Structure 1
Amino acid sequence: MKKLIYIFLVIVLLFLLTIFPYLILVSFFPSLDSYKILLFIYIIISGIFLGKYWWKYVYILNKHPRKGRPFFLPKKTKKKNKK
């Protein structure tokens, strides 16, 4: 659950990182070019942050997800039946 919240917060942070420079760029360059520049910056920043997170999670911590199960879902545990 913590990982899902973390991913959501990263997306919100990247959205906020996009909004503030966009407002500054629109005030100086009121055209479609400012939107294209900001979209390019957003793609670069989001790729860097998500790539760093994925590298740390998968390769450094060695927690690659198993096949058929996303990494943010909890692992299934077997319950022991008491007789």
Structure 2
Amino acid sequence: MSSYKGSSWFKWDLHVHTPDSLVSEYGGDWDKFITNIESLPPEFKVIGINDYIFIDGYRRVLEEKAKGRFPNIEIFYLLLS
């Protein structure tokens, strides 16, 4: 008998705005943003940061990830429009 388990499916959200985005719903509230991302169901593994022409929010996300935040998220992508 094989130990092959088959396909694994995960959810990706490739259009998330950080509090540093011009169109963010967080109004600069990083604590709320971090809490919301960390509260996602465990099947969410990839988040795409889309703050248009700015990368400050993406950098902050990577800094927070390096500190141990967002343990449920495996990858953050930077998406520039």
Q: TM-score, normalised by structure 2?
A: 0.27
Q: TM-score, normalised by structure 1?
A: 0.27
Structure number with higher strand proportion: 2
